[in-house]
Structure 1
Amino acid sequence: MNILLRRVVDRVVRVGNLKITGPDGSVHSFGDGSGPLVHVHIKTTHAERAITLHPSLAVGEAFMDQELDFLEGDVLSFLHLIYENTGPMGSGDALSRAMEGVRVAIRGLHQMNTHRRSKRNVERHYDLSGEMYKLFLDEDMQYSCAYFERPDMTLEEAQLAKKRHIAAKLRLKQGQSVLDIGCGWGGLGLYIARNFQADVLGVTLSKEQHAIATERARAEGLDSHAHFEIRDYRDLNERFDRIVSVGMFEHVGVNHYRTFFEKCATLLKPDGVMLLHSIGRFGPPTSTNAFIRKHIFPGGYIPALSEVLPAIEKAGLMVGDIEILRIHYAETLKAWRERFMANRDKAKAIYDERFCRMWEFYLSGSEAAFRWQDMMVFQIQLTRKNDAVPITRGYMEKAEKALAMHEMGHQPGGAEAKPKRGRKKVSEGE
């Protein structure tokens, strides 16, 4: 193990029980010996050099390429140990903060998400095999943070609770027009169409997601109410009673926040309501993790609220409500990671070993960031008028309870089941 890397690790890891076997077979221990042992084997000098120079990228890449393995522990336990020593992002030493400042200064170059680049970025991640996503997502294929009203909830129950929570904040009424920006595989749009007889337009840049969402609408007999298109939100000109966007804002890019909210302001009717659900961070603005930017979400960025709210204000929209979801995404990612690992052989049959290692590192790293770093999820309710929603939050809870009662009357399968003929739809205030 080279002396520079050994000194860096020795300076960083003061708490915990870390052991590293280098490519030469030498074994070095770090930390105070507390907690479970994490034993890392760096197999090649190439990986050792890369990790010394750029650990945030090279550790994941070395794991992907089988140049690094865990003899004791796993990716999640390793990251827990590291984060326990380094603390939240931005709290490192002066050199680390200076380097992060440089990365923040040039981050805009990585987020020039033009129409063409946005489509290409989406294809990199969301046009992967739908069968692969089915290996770890819930039955409704919700690829965003679930809402754990109770700690004993299953993933399916928590994702259904998330859809109820969002629908309540939108204050949906029967027959309204609804825009779903970044509609995924159609689950939320179909939920809204099914329960409110709303006319939903879902837009996505993913051919794979569009095909699945369209087929689901047809299979459920909801294609007269839910329509899905491959369109960039910037190309829309219609106006809507309600706008919802879940898990898409992370791909907009900091350079385009004002464009996003100004466009939403023009698409939202004067008395309309919008709900934005996005990953965010508790701390100040920073840069995208190098591994995530290169291998998982090119062009993506997780904003601080201090970057989002000014763009909302300049667009002329009003913030009616902000909710911060803590730990919910950590629990969601835990469920995804466990399901993915249980179906790892099937994922390998679809892709290969390198892909499986990349996704293991991505899911574990994301869970660790939400559990032990400064990641969170925010939901921002937006309006154009300050009286578009009631002045107290009681209507949200009332709507959620009405939806829950309505869902109990459906056939087994929850969101997948067709509504019974003649059954009254849920409306706001019911």
Structure 2
Amino acid sequence: MTDHAAVLRTASSSSFAPTAIDRLARRAVLARLARISRGRLAVHEGAHVQAFGESSPDLSATIRVRDPRFYRWLAQRGSLGGAEAYLEGLWSTDDLVAVVRVLARNQAALAGLDAGLARIARPGLRMLHLLRRNTRGGSRRNVAAHYDLGNAFFEIFLDPTLTYSAGVFERADATLEEAQIAKYRRAIDALRLGPDDHVLEIGTGWGGFAIHAARTTGCRVTSATLSAEQHARATERVAAAGLADRVEVVLRDYRDLRGRFDKLVSIEMIEAVGHAQLPGYFRACSERLRPGGRMFLQAITVPERDFAASVRNVEFIKRYVFPGGQLVSVGAICDAIARAGSDLQITALGDVTEHYATTLRIWRERYLAAQAQVAALGFDERFRRLWEFYLAYCEGGFRERAIGTIQLTLVRPN
């Protein structure tokens, strides 16, 4: 990653005289950073450097403060304010993933950053998140806010399968495309797909799984999406692959699907369902599966101890990237299945967290190498920094296992 100091819209810190509030905020933030005990974080303010953490760390990171308002944003809005300060160019770094990883390792010690003044903003943030709840209309708006940025944008950093979920790298030298196909093979094997099967896919993406499954197994696929952009492009890709007789892409909410299917697949769509809607999601899945049917679910998770807090809090991803989004946990999935009155049973669980970190690294490298293309699509500097932060934030989270990725196989009894 390159340091973006030369292109920041804000001037260097020497151009701004800190106010009394900035000085108080700085004192409070540095006192919190002094609690770092795992890894090392260096804070540069012009020629002045303060380092926190281990003297001989296995992980180190550097923050360069470009504007003293950085401390105020962090003190007043907590970790979300730190992210927002990055979007505004108030600080920079030459390794954003390392910064995220050091902070993730010291999450308990730094919890105070999200207390105090940062609590004042929470009710407003929660209200905004509640206004984005996943009713049918809300889900359409939330999906459009992210996925309808334009197919050309996502094509910049995705592989030729246009898959926007974790791949599985079966070899150290595997390409991203090979990793995505390996993930599809795992899903196909878990579902035991054959030419007589009719598969329901909830969450089309750009049609990568549907195309691969129909082409390699001869099965029929009905794939549902709420994104108009994805629906149009996936339909085009299905036709170009000569599979229009095997694959149907529908623009429809999962709650409005009808019929019975032999198999069901949902790859990283559950994060868009919403906590309150989880039982309804599994009820719909159960109703769409025939007795004896199999389901493959890939989901991004949070640790059980953090799930309740993640439902309450509105962090960077919910606020700026996936409105209405909510990660799940294994326990939350089991609870939702039970509350749905579903007879779905989990028969296998696999962890692919480390593979998501690698997937995100490749996406981030491709994205950063194509900044001129992103700008040419009409996206301004703040948007470009937001997506850089998003990709690095997720990669760092997966590398430190602050978040995870699982693959579940579920079965409906005969």
TM-score (norm 1): 0.81
**Structure 1 position 336, deviation (Å):** 0.8
Amino acid at match of 1:207: A
- For the 8 Å contact 1:323–1:380, the answer to whether it is kept is yes
Aligned to 1:31: 53
Instruction: Give 5+ residue unaligned stretches, structure 2.
Output: 1-22
Aligned to 2:73: 50
Is the Cα–Cα contact under 8 Å of residues 182 and 246 in structure 1 kept in the other structure? yes
Matches of 1:45 and 1:242, distance apart in 2: 56
Q: Shift of residue 196 of structure 1?
A: 2.1
Choose the corresponding residue for 1:330, options 332, 357, 373.
357
CA distance in 2, matches of 1:6, 1:303: 33
In the TM superposition, 1:10-409 aligns within 5 A as 10-12=34-36, 15-21=39-45, 27-35=49-57, 38-70=61-93, 73-86=94-107, 91-92=108-109, 109=130, 112-284=133-305, 285=307, 286-287=309-310, 290-313=315-338, 314-350=341-377, 351-385=379-413
Deviations, residues 35-62 of structure 1 (Å, cap 9, x unaligned): 5764323333433211112232122211
What SS does the aligned partner of 2:34 have? helix
Cα displacement string for residues 218-274 of structure 1 (whole angstroms, at most 9, x for unaligned residues): 111111111111100000111111110001001111111110111111111112111
Could you list the per-position Cα deviations for residues 203-229 of structure 1 after superposition, in whole angstroms to 9, with x for gaps in the alignment? 111011001000001111111111111
Determine if contact 2:132/2:324 at 8 Å carries over to the other structure. Answer: yes
Deviation at 1:32, TM superposition (A): 4.0
Q: Quote the Cα distance in structure 2 between the aligned partners of 1:14 and 1:279.
A: 25
Deviations 1:273-310 (A, max 9, x none): 11111111233213166111111011111111111112
Render the CA deviation track for 1:136-166: whole Å, top value 9, x for unaligned: 1111011001011122211111111000010
SS at match of 2:143: helix
* C-alpha separation in 1, matches of 2:60 and 2:269: 38
Letter in 2 for 1:341: L
Q: 1:224 to 1:327 in 2, by over 3 A?
A: same
- Going from structure 1 to structure 2, the CA distance change for 1:94 and 1:330 (only over 3 Å counts) comes to closer
Contact 2:271-2:300 within 8 A present in 1 as well? yes
Asked if the contact 2:201–2:221 (Cα under 8 Å) also holds between the matched residues in 1, the reply is: yes
TM-superposed deviation, 1:82 = 2.1
Do the aligned residues in 1 keep the contact of 2:36 with 2:109 (CA within 8 Å)?
A: no
**Residues matched between the structures, number:** 377
For residues 405-420 of structure 1, the aligned pairs below 5 Å read: none
Shift of 1:13: 5.7
Residues 1:4 and 2:4 aligned together: no
SS at match of 1:12: coil
Which residue type is aligned with residue 28 of structure 1? Answer: Q
Unaligned runs of 5+ in 1: 387-430
Q: Are residues 38 and 270 of structure 1, via their aligned partners in 2, closer, same or farther at CA, if it must alter by over 3 Å? A: closer
CA RMSD, aligned part only? 2.6
Distance 1:55 1:94 in 2: 9
Under a length normalisation based on structure 2, what TM-score does the superposition of the two structures give?
Answer: 0.84
Runs of 4+ in 1 over 6 A off after TM superposition: 96-104
Q: Out of 255-264 and 275-284, give the one that drifted further.
A: 275-284
Tell me the secondary structure at the aligned position of residue 296 of structure 2.
Answer: strand
- Partner of 1:184: helix, strand, or coil? coil
C-alpha distance in 1 between matches for 2:176 and 2:345 = 33
- Quick one: structure 1 residues 92 and 257, their matched pair in 2 at CA, closer, same or farther if it must change by over 3 Å? farther
Percent identity between matched residues is 36
Deviation at 1:101, TM superposition (A): 12
